[in-house]
Amino acid sequence: MDFSKIALGIELGSTRIKAVAVGFDGSVAASGSFGWENSFINGVWTYSMEEVVKGVRACYADLREDCVRRYGEAPSTFAAIGVSAMMHGYIALDAERQVIAPFQTWRNENTGSAAAELTEAFGTNIPLRWSIAHLYQRILDREEHLDRLAGVCTLAAYVHELLTGESVLGSGDASGMFPLNAEGTSYDPGLVRRFESMAASKGYPFELSKLFPRVLPAGERAGSLTSDGAALLDDSGVLRPGIPFCPPEGDAGTGMVATNSVAPGTGNLSAGTSAFAMVVLEKPLKKLHRELDNVTTPDGRPVAMSHANNGTGDIDAWAGVFSELLERAGARLSKPELYDLLYGASLDSEPDCSGVVSFGYLSGEFLTGVPSGAPSLFRRAGSDFTLASLMRSHVYAALAAVRIGLDIMTVDEGVKIRRMLAHGGLFKSRGVAQKYFADAINAPVDVMPTAGEGGPWGMALLAAYSVAGDGLTLPGFLDKKVFSRVECVTEKPTPEGVEGFNRYLENYKALLPAVRSAAEASSD
């Protein structure tokens, strides 16, 4: 196998680290994975940096073994490598590039005061999970580690620096650290000066250009694998240093690439532990909306994103209960078989779930004003409470908060959604979640054969683009070299499905005060 013509993408997701090796046409050559979970420690959703290194190494080892099984050899090189990870969040580094505070993931919503103050000062929305909101909240709280702070980055940038020694970040993930300029190539200089003035007035004269990674758009070279990086990634010693890297990205950007949704007018939905829908804009939004992120594609085009902290996590918890029941009954199904069974059962429900409403809020949900985790299930007395209505409600719940944000785009801003592409684990079962999402947005929804590969595959494509772009734009590269022969499966909305989801959403919104009360009562 000629691995010098294979690109490698590694993505650190919320529950799984996955590596995918692809040819320049996107064909999958090998893959590997490692399961992990975040921890809730002292009120913070986090992962230890030891877990990060262990997980990346174990994931690569799994891919290396897959290569040996398939080709009889372990790779000593690749054409290019790219790293992506959960977007945004906060990793604080000292001058020696050591982590000096708990890693704050996207899931933390402990930045309310900072996000509100920055939004007002900047005149653009600063979501709770953005890195600048985390940094400013640390300033407002006068946290001890700020006296030693020399760097701030996202998880993707952190792992990239471990492997290459370069502090850089792709435009897409960088746009969730701090607002970018109109070209998407650097942090907005006017807002940088405004932030630095705000920080200095609090006694912290930070220079943002020295704290944050340098911004690089897709296609740029972003360093190469060092000897230390090769030893970290491949403990067998076979992988050689010197492999070029593309700019690291967030999982939002890799999701756009994986669904060929980087050109204006295209959009996609990613549904996993969190759920987010993105539309690449023809022109910027007219108004400030706290519910919507203003981010960019990996090549710097403006994007509006509706991001829900909670996606399929509660579905996984319920599936675990059903799996336990089966085992107690002496039966056993594989995980894919169980999920196909449960999702398939949901199709037998009435389109409005017969009054059964689920809230899979394992953590707080900014989009709906729920301050902390409060997974809840409601049903009307006399409702048709069945496995079908229960499971359909759970799948609807994974889409409902995102739909609320999309309504702001379409109704308040007049953004046209002609069709959307969907990817992530929720869409592995054919014709279920895809059908429900088409009804939810009243527009066709496409799913590609690569839907289950998702972000790691998209990251591998960005790595391939950095060495095999041949002067094409990113949309041109994806259209001509990757997706020209990919056939989509399309689901169109039905009148009864649209009406049913809308009735479900009305019940969902009506019950939000009860969920907020439950979250407040159980927050301790």
What's the CATH number where 243 sits?
A: 3.30.420.40
**Please, what is the angle between helix 155-164 and helix 49-71, to 10°?**
70
Pick the last residue of a domain from 243, 259, 275. 259
User: What's the pLDDT score for residue 451?
Assistant: 55
Distant-in-sequence contacts of 33-37, Cβ < 8 A, 24+ apart:
33/59, 33/62, 34/58, 34/59, 34/62
354 secondary structure, DSSP code: G
Pick the last residue of a domain from 217, 239, 259. 259
Look at residue 307 and tell me if it is in a domain.
Answer: no
- Looking at the structure, do residues 30 and 171 belong to the same domain, yes or no? yes
Look at residue 368 and tell me if it is in a domain.
Answer: yes
User: What's the pLDDT score for residue 390?
Assistant: 97
- Looking at the structure, do residues 241 and 350 belong to the same domain, yes or no? no
- Looking at the structure, do residues 255 and 350 belong to the same domain, yes or no? no
Where are any strands of DSSP class E within 173-328? 214-216, 249-250, 267-271, 275-280, 293-296, 302-308
Pick the last residue of a domain from 234, 259, 284. 259
Alpha helix segments (H runs only) across 286-420: 313-328, 335-346, 387-407
User: What's the pLDDT score for residue 453?
Assistant: 61
Look at residue 265 and tell me if it is in a domain.
Answer: no
Q: How many domains does the chain have?
A: 2
User: What's the pLDDT score for residue 368?
Assistant: 93
Q: In the structure encoding, which two tokens stand for residue 169, read together?
A: 């970040």
Q: Which residue has the tokens 């109109």?
A: 182
The one-letter code for the residue type at 19 is A
- Looking at the structure, do residues 232 and 354 belong to the same domain, yes or no? no
User: What's the pLDDT score for residue 108?
Assistant: 86
Look at residue 467 and tell me if it is in a domain.
Answer: no
pTM: 0.82
User: What's the pLDDT score for residue 524?
Assistant: 56
User: What's the pLDDT score for residue 196?
Assistant: 98
Beta-carbon contacts of residue 394 (< 8 Å; ≥ 6 apart): 314, 315, 318, 346, 358, 360
Q: Tell me the C-alpha distance between 169 and 178, whole Å.
A: 12
Look at residue 454 and tell me if it is in a domain.
Answer: no
Look at residue 463 and tell me if it is in a domain.
Answer: no
Question: Could you tell me which residues are beta bridge partners of residue 152?
Answer: 92
Q: Tell me the C-alpha distance between 145 and 94, whole Å.
A: 9
- Looking at the structure, do residues 239 and 374 belong to the same domain, yes or no? no
Alpha helix segments (H runs only) across 283-334: 313-328
- Looking at the structure, do residues 40 and 161 belong to the same domain, yes or no? yes
Look at residue 428 and tell me if it is in a domain.
Answer: yes
**Are 262 and 297 contacting, i.e. CB atoms less than 8 angstroms apart?**
yes
User: What's the pLDDT score for residue 283?
Assistant: 82
User: What's the pLDDT score for residue 426?
Assistant: 83
- Give me the domain span that covers residue 416: 313-317+346-447+494-521
- Looking at the structure, do residues 238 and 112 belong to the same domain, yes or no? yes
The segments of the chain whose pLDDT lies below 70 read 450-453, 523-524
Is residue 91 within a helix (H) or strand (E), and if so which, with residue range? Answer: strand 91-93
Look at residue 205 and tell me if it is in a domain.
Answer: yes
Q: Which residue has the tokens 């940096």?
A: 49
